[in-house]
Structure 1
Amino acid sequence: MSLKAFRCCQAVISPNSIMSDFEDFSRPAGQANVSESYQLNPTSVIVSVVFSLIFLLGTIGNSLVLAVLLRSGQVGYNTTNLFILNLSVADFFFIIFCVPFQATIYSLEGWVFGSFMCKVVHFFINLTMYASSFTLAAVSVDRYLAIRYPLRSRELRTPCNAVVAMVIIWGLSLVFAGPYLSYYDLIDYANSTVCIPGWEEQNRKVLDTCTFLFGYVIPVLIVSLSYTRTIKYLWTAVDPLDGMSESKRAKRKVTKMIIIVTVLFCICWLPYHVVILCYLYGDFPFNQTTYAFRLLSHCMAYANSCVNPIVYALVSKHFRKGFKKVFSCILSKNGRNKVHVVHVANTVPGFEAGSTEVSQMHEENVRQNECEMINRPLPEPREATVTVNLPFQRQT
């Protein structure tokens, strides 16, 4: 939030001490006559740059993840891919509906989007946070069952059950995030309108404590227990010096990727919850240090929605190949006509020019067919071989 909104929140909790704290903060030595808007200018620039990077990386990265998963014929047959898809959807919603509005909160003096968006934006922040934490807890249990009981868990780890789990995740997220639709409200303060919590202090403590417990502590405990048992089994059941099957290697790589994503989630969201708890239960004075720490905690929480695609690209060979195919298809579609004109202009009129155009068109068609057949299911090549053999059968 902006300095003015931050001061307003402090005034709601501690009205007797807020003015002295704010005067000490807003008037450093030698700058007693400097306006507040001038002091906010460097912060506004930094916030705009950081939030713009988060928005661009998060939008592009999660769009690529969704494109790879949705274009792949395996997403409907793999429970882990379904959970990753659900996590990417939550991150994408967070980036689109929350980050741009939160950037204006920190860079402008007041809230300019009205009462409805004040409530909806903070509702989406908690909705997507709950969905992400519940999804990570579900996928940790899924990974444990897949590695510890690969045969016995097949009946449980089905795509249908994964979809049911995703529906339950979003249903619980709606229930837990629902109260935030009335939690925030607009308040006129110092000749501007700010979007801050409007509940009484005791009710705020109850809701924020429940958010910390159900949205962070319990999912982290489930994740920690699941991955502790998973890692213990992986390193005790299989001798690292002996040969390992391809299936077990693949399961290890997927588990490693999900563990990294989970650890990043825990690290990025912990300061956010700590600031809220200190603000409600502890001594959280209004000064440069606390304001900077609050801003940093929000940036870390928001950045979590754009780091997952980077982890997928660094750890998973499947996602790296998928990203390359998506990029190659985009580039081929954008540069198809341009390359064709260049080939015609650089050839000598006659037979060679005609053959060059035909070969170029053939290459473009092949590239287009490759883009249309990204990660298709395996039965389709079998049908192609049957149709190729038909002319030989007719000749005999």
Structure 2
Amino acid sequence: MLKMPWKWNLIVMLIMAVYGTIVNLALLMVILSNQHLRTVSNTLVGNLALADTIMFVFSVPSDLVHHFVLNWPDNSFGNFLCKVSGSSWSLAMALSVASLTAVSIERFCSICWNVHAKRYIFILLIVWLFSLSWTVPVLVWSSVVRYGPYLSICHVLPWWHDYVARGFFTAGFVLKYVIPLLVITCCYVGTAITLAQSTPASSVTVRARRRLAIVVLILNISFAICWLPNHAIILHFFYGDIYETYKVSYALFLTFIEIAHVLVYVNSLLNPIVVFTISDAHRKPLVHFVRSRLCRQAPASNRLDRYAEFDQDGIVSETECVDVKT
């Protein structure tokens, strides 16, 4: 067993993995169980929750192997775990950024141009095709490489071609971070201008749309902040002077790597918390589902639609419900 210099991150990751898996599955349950939430925006939010669940379920176990095992298992199971480790991380990230970008574009088209996307299956197909286009190469390339009789390492890209890895990660940074954030920013500038110019006659609709816009905006900001250090470290490996970095402060650099790694899991944990905190349409069904289970009341499925569709004043509480009615 390898004694690693960091201990705090393992405890934090395990706690986040347990809690994050629960809350993301809860968000998926609410969206799938509530007919009024089966819309394009909420489908993409559910897709984001699925990506976060994949991150926790598949990536955290492989992280534990990295921390506690000196040599990666050089057998069929080790090779399988290596492929799962790299591909799950790539799939979760691509799904997250594609879902966030798609929901931002959908909100912009709905609010600014009054164009409502109806074929959410087609949108989901595009999101998944984009995500798989980044995941399949990692799945194929990932393998365990042995260095002599005592050391074996899991490589997620062809280890004999540095230019392949450099090109792949550089393209990933541009296509899965820079361009999506630019698109999201443009969408939210247009959305904010349109909502600010809305007439008082549509105050209920505007208020609901603003609430959903705030939810998606916070999700995007969280993604941008939490994933930036990870991208910075990867780009530094390929374009920076690693040896000079190690000479400056090896321990500090390793600590920064661990913080960047944990921030990715923080993002996956924050996403469902933000949705449940701000959105009544998502929080109320969950609260009443838990209460019905604890108090053994009427089946929660009979109560989900009622609490998701209306607030205490009998007014539709979310944009998605407004879109269904109009």
Scaled by the length of structure 2, the TM-score of the pair is 0.84
* Closer, same or farther: CA 147–199 of 1 in aligned 2, 3 Å: farther
- 1:316 and 1:376 mapped to 2: Cα distance? 15
Cα distance in structure 1, aligned partners of 2:2 and 2:147: 15
Structure 1: state its 5+ residue gaps: 1-35, 334-366, 379-396
Aligned pair count reads 296
TM-superposed deviation, 1:259: 0.4
* Structure 1 residue 128 displacement after superposition: 1.6
Q: Among 182, 193, 198, which residue is 1:221 paired with?
A: 182
Alignment of 1:1-396 (within 5 A): 37-38=2-3, 40=4, 43=6, 45-76=7-38, 78-112=39-73, 113-150=77-114, 153-154=115-116, 157-158=117-118, 161-189=119-147, 191-196=150-155, 197=157, 198-235=159-196, 237-238=197-198, 245-285=203-243, 286=246, 287-333=250-296, 367-369=297-299, 371-376=300-305
**Offset at 1:37?**
4.2
CA contact (8 A) 2:195 2:206 kept: no
CA 1:199/1:270 → structure 2, altered by over 3 Å: closer, same or farther? farther
CA–CA distance in 2 between the matches of 1:37 and 1:176?
A: 32
Q: Distance in 1 between matches of 2:52 and 2:290?
A: 21
| Rounded Cα–Cα distance in structure 1 between residues aligned with 2:123 and 2:64 | 33
Q: Using the TM superposition, give the Cα deviation of residue 60 of structure 1 relative to its aligned residue in structure 2, in angstroms.
A: 0.8
| 258-267 or 296-305, larger mean C-alpha shift | 296-305
> Structure 1 residues 329 and 101 mapped into 2: Cα distance closer, same or farther (>3 Å)?
farther
Task: Specify the SS of the correspondent of 1:179.
Answer: helix
Verify the 8 A CA contact 2:289 2:304 in the aligned structure 1: no
Distance 1:220 1:134, change over 3 A: same
Give the aligned residue type for 2:193.
K
Q: Equivalent residue for 1:5?
A: none
Render the CA deviation track for 1:214-238: whole Å, top value 9, x for unaligned: 1111111111111111112222x13
Q: Which letter does structure 1 place at the counterpart of 2:251?
A: Q
User: Quick one: distance in 2 between partners of 1:278 and 1:221?
Assistant: 22
Partner of 1:8: none
Tell me the distance in 1 between the aligned counterparts of 2:254 and 2:140: 25
Pairwise CA distance, 1:199: 4.1
CA distance in 1, matches of 2:176, 2:301: 40
**Identity fraction in percent:** 28
2: distance between equivalents of 1:314 and 1:66? 15
Quick one: structure 1 residues 303 and 106, their matched pair in 2 at CA, closer, same or farther if it must change by over 3 Å?
farther
Cα RMSD of the aligned pairs, angstroms, is 2.1
